[in-house]
Amino acid sequence: MQLSEQELRRRHEREALMEMGINPYPSELFDVTALATEIKENYKPELNNYQEVSLAGRLMSRRIMGKASFAELMDSSGRIQIYVSRDDIAPGENKDLYNTVFKKMLDIGDFIGIKGYVFVTQVGEISVHVTELKLLAKSLKPLPIVKEAVDEEGNKVTYDAFSDPELRYRQRYVDLVVNPQVKDTFIKRTKLMNSMRNFLNEQGYLEVETPILQPIPGGAAARPFITHHNSLDIPMYLRIANELYLKRLLVGGFDGVYEFAKDFRNEGMDRTHNPEFTVMEVYVTYKDYNWMMDMTEAMIEKVALDLHGKTKVQVGKNEIDFKRPFQRISMFDAIKTHTGIDITGMDEDQLRDVCKQLNIPTEPSMGKGKLIDEIFGEKCEGHYIQPTFITDYPVEMSPLCKKHRSKEGLVERFELMVNGKELANAYSELNDPVDQRARFEEQMHLAAKGDNEAMFIDQDFLRALEYGMPPAAGMGIGIDRLCMIMTNNHSIQDVLFFPQMKPEKQVQTVEE
């Protein structure tokens, strides 16, 4: 850790404060009675309200003017101007609290607590006249100073912005302090999840928790993270999905269950993928995928209304409308529409020829399902900007899905496409244990061919199905991607507080 001149100075200030008998990190409770934004929105001079207030937050600017100074305090709600007078905070002969501590030992970024009363300055700015001031936490590293100005045309211009993506994602704690608009994204993320939770609770479904550490990584086709349980001396896996555990609960007698789950997939990172991500999965008995389409669009429409007050959401250059009903088209019809090729009934060799014709790279380990998935992903997916349900997938792509009631070789499945990406995935759930065992065994054949994303056989899940699972529909929706859309962010890293990053380069330690 190489210390800058300012970092060294702040450490010396810390020592000097302690020598003066001032604890830079006191333990005592500081009772906050008001927030900056609350005061600015509700203060009325004619009412003479807010005459005894207590606030706490970071010191973000100072204008020293002899015996009195103006400064700016930022709490969790926003910023407010404060007025600090020497004779108010340091009455009597000992003026050190103002002359030495406030003027010379406090820095931008320090946490302070203040008590006082609200007034309006001569220029009309609502401010707090400070009568008591206390240092609550000394900041030893300087915050980046983001400057704003107004140009000749009246436009706000930002200088020295803390905008480098790697620094912002790696030091999110700084990003949140100096880029206040970032906080709004994460407030909306919480509101989004609460909107979904309220919707599901109103339906009478039960929110549950299922294991993150699993003996078998089931419920999806993905490469897992592997760890080791020392006491049991067995390998364990971070879950790639929670589907099989939630369906066990349907076997146990619950009619509707859902979970906001952290899932983990040991795969690449890009603009829309992070190894650790959040999904919401819901399973409801005696329903099918058609019913689940209706429920999904109702829930997402509600999210848009709760966050924006309207169904139309701006995402980059696209205006996306979540008003029901959403468009619906089968996967094979989508491929035919965008490639001119009808792949109905094609075998693996014919599909490889189609991929070659369309210049789509393939691997020898790919079976029919993967080949069709590649065709759709390369040639179709990006066309679906407005919410669209892609329905009726080939059975090879969906080992946990019930076979289609009327279309041979297909299953009752849909994926919801929004802004050119998959947002949700749902099925009429497979509840025939004999068929399910055969599907798992086919996955083992794919694994033998080299498909490292093929599913494991989960014998306990098969045993659960043999006890009997009622017909059901299930759906999983990517919370991170939904948040990207609802907050108009183009990278998953912008909607994760702490996205996965490459290891930080270490700086050689030097002595002070």
Binding region = 415, 422
Q: Which one, of 242, 322, 224, 225, lies nearest residue 278 by Cα?
A: 242
State the Cα–Cα distance between residues 124 and 43, nearest whole angstrom: 12
* Cβ atoms within 10 Å, residue 63: 10
Would you mind telling me the total number of residues written for the chain in this entry? Answer: 512
Question: What is d(CA 449, CA 365) in angstroms, rounded to the nearest whole number?
Answer: 5
Q: How far is CA 149 from CA 15, 146, 159, 160, in A?
A: 36, 10, 8, 11
User: Which residue, among 415, 396, 393, has the nearest Cα to 404 in the 3D structure?
Assistant: 393
Closest-CA residue to 384 (of 331, 442, 427, 461) = 331
Q: Which residues are annotated as a binding site for Mg(2+)?
A: 415, 422
Rounded to whole angstroms, how far apart are CA atoms 221 and 456? 9
- Asked if 411 and 403 touch (Cβ cutoff 8 Å), the reply is yes
Asked, as a colleague might, if the bond just before 325 is cis with ω within 30 of 0, I would say: yes
| Among 98, 141, 112, residue whose Cα is nearest residue 2 | 141
Q: Would you say 420 and 383 are in contact if contact means Cβ atoms under 8 Å apart?
A: yes
Q: Which H, E and C letters describe 387-453, residue by residue? A: CEEEEEEEHHHCCCECECCCCCCEEEEEEEEECCEEEEEEEEECCCHHHHHHHHHHHHHHHHCCCCC
d(CA 185, CA 495): 7
